[in-house]
Structure 1
Amino acid sequence: MVFISILLTMFQHLHGERSAQGVYHILRGKRSGQTLQDVENYQLKPFYALFPKLSTDDYHRHIERLAAEGLIRIENQVVYVTDKGRKNMLHAPWRFNGWDYRGGEREFIKRLALTVQTLSYIRTGRTMFAPIQKELHIQQFVKEFLRGQTVSVDELAKKVHKELVQILSEAHLTDLQRTILSYRLTGVQLTAYTWEQIAEAVNSPVTSVQIYFLESLHIVLDFIGEHEDMPLMKSLASGCRVENYLTHSAERSRKLVQQGYSIEQIASLRNLKLSTIEDHMVEMAANVKTFPYQEFVTAEQIQKVWQQIDRLQTKRLRVLKEQCAELTYFQLRLIIIHGKQVDS
């Protein structure tokens, strides 16, 4: 039910303007121009890359279930949420932050779990134990983290515990999320619960438990990022947040833009289609605060397009192009990302 609610929420955001496959690409974290544009235009950044391993078969089984239960209807491959579907959406707003973490939250919890386990064992004089995390890069990170500390093991364990207590008490987690987080940590006398054990303990399906856990990690990482009094958690969270939101190819184009090249010159220099460079520019507009919109569109054009968006209640490019024939699709895409506010 929880995953279904996420799907319904995303389809509702899309206002019946995208296919089911578009949502699948967002959940998987696809980095194509269309997917990145959809994420920006329809305020779907929280859901980006939440389930990078979601299979096509599993996804379409959920879509078929939604349609069979009358929660959505599909016309010409476009998905619409029905009245029944809207009533079945969970009302509490989701607090995911997939856009900023993109799997980094999983690295964080692995580091934290191994740190807690290691400190627990070392405090009792046991230096030989089976690490809960088998990945060598996680083990190496935790080793370096522990070596970099200047206090005793006992003191370090107390500080880690203090910061964890602060997170659990102040990060606005639900009681269920606190329980799930606690159950996933392990020590000398306490083995971490499996997903099945947690699901049984909280009387909730395994997939729902895993989704609530994922959401809680995003909440925790956001909380850590906002608080300067959590040095240990900040160290464990190092590198888990995306630093450069541009794709590698768009970043190369951005550097050429900074050197003063036009988009036509960049296309020629890189031996790429002009449309590809335009995709890069749209990606930059969505992620670079200082993007020079004025080089491509005027304030009057922005106002005109947004008047049409508000009037027609759509951001579909084909529809907007019919109303603003003098503008290119590239300009329309930039204007949608810009938003309706125009600097005076």
Structure 2
Amino acid sequence: MVTGKKTAQSLSDSQWFGIERYYASFKGMAHETFIDTIQSLIKEKYMKAVEDHVYILTEKGEEVLACESDRLSYLKHLNGLKYASIETSCWQVITLYVQALSNSLYGNFNYSPVVRDFSVIQKVKSVFPKSDSERKVQAGKLYSEVSRILFEHDKVSADLFVKKLSGYNRIGSTFEQISLVEGISLQETVLRFRAVLHSLIQKVTSEKIDLPMLYSLIGSYTEAPALTNSASRTYKMLKINKSIEEIMSVRNLKSSTLEDHLVEIAREVSDFPIIPYIDEQEFLKVKHFYRKTNETKLRPFKDAFPHLSYFQIRLVLAKEGGKHATGSST
């Protein structure tokens, strides 16, 4: 889950335990490193094991966490489950655009781009202003929009984000360089940066009219559903009117796997219709039960609606934002 392996199980677990924001927090972390960190926390008596692979904070750990709550407040801006799949593309477009715009304003067109990905370069070219006057106007708008978002973050996180940007006669700092200068760990440096970036993406998604410059840069990424690769393939086939039976046959999928895909799609694609899979009246009844009880476990729904399958219940919860909608019916 923390490394960002996007499977039905990892998606389900991150929602089940209410830790969606920490999804993909440490991409590339080795399993041994994760275990060593846990053992270190146990040794320092911040955590203790209650059974195999199950740990809780000790009183000492709770006290430290409470003392550090203000400093760790930046973590509330993380939204790994939603944005981990697009954060790199969004950042690359933003940082290349800022670098190109900054250099052009100083009349410098001979610089080494910080991003060489062809699709990113084409994206920046497609929205880049043609005249000097346009560039000045766009620079002012972009500065205003980014500043507005950065002011909602603590100074350390905001400064860190700016230091990552490249411009005229300046290459953005590495995470290692920032970590050394700020006197914070490399892990915290990365998490602070990602928290600001996720916040920016979220703002562009929800306030695109008020952030036209940023939306022109990354809007196309934010509008794409954040699906696993396999679910994305299923969704594309559904959009060209392939039947469930055809998809299962062509892709050699089990019915349980296909159901997982449909639940994932229902959660991520707002206009995906689920009525073909559940009667509308039944959908409304389950929806009412969920809103009335705020129940998040599947069993009470099954007891209340024994004639419905777990799959149908999960579909409704997916549409309603239920925590346990994703993952296996079993």
Give RMSD over aligned pairs: 4.1
In structure 1, which of residues 120, 123, 129 is the aligned counterpart of residue 102 of structure 2? Answer: 120
Instruction: Report deviation, 1:228.
Output: 1.7
Aligned residue identity for 2:214: M
Over 3 Å counting, the alpha-carbon distance change for 1:304 and 1:73 in structure 2 is farther
In structure 2, which of residues 227, 244, 267 is the aligned counterpart of residue 286 of structure 1? Answer: 267
Contact 2:101 2:139 in 1 (8 A): no
In structure 1, which of residues 42, 64, 83 is the aligned counterpart of residue 39 of structure 2? Answer: 64
Instruction: Report deviation, 1:326.
Output: 9.2
| 1:1-344 mapped onto 2 (5 Å cutoff) | 26-74=1-49, 75-89=51-65, 90-91=68-69, 92=73, 94-146=76-128, 149-152=129-132, 155-171=134-150, 172-225=152-205, 226-241=207-222, 243-250=224-231, 271-288=252-269, 290-292=273-275, 294-295=278-279, 315=297, 330=311, 339=322
Contact 2:298 2:310 in 1 (8 A): no
Instruction: Report deviation, 1:185.
Output: 2.0
C-alpha distance in 1 between matches for 2:210 and 2:293: 48
C-alpha distance in 1 between matches for 2:27 and 2:312: 31
Aligned residue identity for 1:82: T
Moved more, 155-164 or 95-104: 155-164
Instruction: Report deviation, 1:41.
Output: 3.2
* Paired positions, count: 307
C-alpha distance in 2 between matches for 1:229 and 1:305: 34
Over 3 Å counting, the alpha-carbon distance change for 1:61 and 1:224 in structure 2 is same
Over 3 Å counting, the alpha-carbon distance change for 1:103 and 1:246 in structure 2 is closer
C-alpha distance in 1 between matches for 2:217 and 2:239: 36
C-alpha distance in 1 between matches for 2:239 and 2:221: 28
C-alpha distance in 1 between matches for 2:286 and 2:219: 42
Instruction: Report deviation, 1:215.
Output: 0.5
The TM-score with structure 2 as length reference comes to: 0.72
Aligned residue identity for 2:145: Q
Over 3 Å counting, the alpha-carbon distance change for 1:84 and 1:336 in structure 2 is farther
Over 3 Å counting, the alpha-carbon distance change for 1:60 and 1:325 in structure 2 is farther
SS at match of 2:274: coil
Contact 1:116 1:187 in 2 (8 A): yes
Moved more, 45-54 or 289-298: 289-298
SS at match of 1:238: helix
C-alpha distance in 1 between matches for 2:96 and 2:245: 51
Aligned match of 2:328: none
Render the CA deviation track for 1:129-186: whole Å, top value 9, x for unaligned: 222224343333323332xx2442x541442244223322345122112211221223
Contact 1:308 1:323 in 2 (8 A): no
Render the CA deviation track for 1:282-308: whole Å, top value 9, x for unaligned: 324533554347559788889999999
Over 3 Å counting, the alpha-carbon distance change for 1:316 and 1:87 in structure 2 is farther
